[in-house]
Amino acid sequence: MIDSHCHLEQNAYANDLDQVIEKCKKEDLKAIVSVCADPKDFDRSLEIIENYKNYVFLCASIHPEFIKEISSKQVDEYFERLKETRKKLVGIGETGADYFWVKEENWREKQKELFIQHIELSKELRLPLVIHSRDAWEDILKILEQEDAKNVLLHMWGSKESEHLKRIVENNYSVTIGPIIARSKNHKRIVRDIPLENIMLETDSPWFGQNGEKGLPTNVKIPCVEIAEVKKLDVNYVADMTEKNTIKFFSLEI
Ligand SMILES: [Zn+2]
């Protein structure tokens, strides 16, 4: 198994990251993709991939939630850093839009502009895209299609529209499925309707912990078991296949 989306640079792991990584290795996780979504976390993120070489891999971007706090000068400077450190990255993301947290039309427009800048960066650097799309489902798909984005991974996709699912399959986009599937009929339906070749496991740790605890990458077991149940497949087969999907998608060198 691989956790294809979590945030190891978060303060929640400031004191126990060594133990967390040990536990992941013990519980058979082959790799972890950590997502840095804030320029101020980038140095710490680089330190982490240096410390756990060929085990923790890094995606980087500016999260759409931070749209009101970031200036265009900061965007430019950060993008320059990402270009300089291209060799250390496996993807651009999470980028996209978040209409749950951002309600004002002008700020939503700004999110879309920043999203398009990220798509352009991913093309320039030849890196895959990891997308955050909370409540912005239609706009996200429209922009991805307009911009002709290829290697696309939709994180926490939650639209209830069947038409959206059809477009995801037609465009050959992938999705990551997290522990939320255990209590979500909608996520079970998404898994049912998307081919296994386009599904990966995630936890979004340290969020989505179980029983009030902080989340851990080892929780990928939860979506793995649920996917096996929905698709009536052996759980080991799902673990293997999703692992292969992640390695291929991000070209991981493990
Ligand atoms: Zn995330």
CB contact at 8 A, 45 and 34: yes
Between the CA of 9 and the centroid of ligand 1 the distance, in Å, is 11
Domain count, the chain: 1
Residue list, CB under 5 A from ion ligand 1: 204
pTM summary value = 0.97
Q: What angle is formed at CA 14 by the lines to CA 128 and CA 21, rounded to 5 degrees?
A: 60
What is the residue range of 161's domain? 2-250
Contacts (Cβ under 8 Å, ≥6 apart) of 136 = 96, 97, 98, 99, 108, 111
pLDDT digits (tens, 9 = 90+) for 169-181: 999 999 999 999 9
pLDDT digits (tens, 9 = 90+) for 196-219: 999 999 999 999 998 889 999 999
Q: What is the CATH number of the domain that holds 13?
A: 3.20.20.140
The C-alpha atoms of residue 131 and residue 21 are separated, in whole angstroms, by: 25
Q: 7 falls in which pLDDT band (50, 70, 90)?
A: very high
Alpha helices in 27-64 (DSSP H): 42-51
Q: Which two tokens stand for residue 8?
A: 């190891």
CB contact at 8 A, 92 and 127: yes
Q: Which two tokens stand for residue 202?
A: 């995630």
Between the CA of 42 and the centroid of ligand 1 the distance, in Å, is 15
CB contact at 8 A, 65 and 111: no
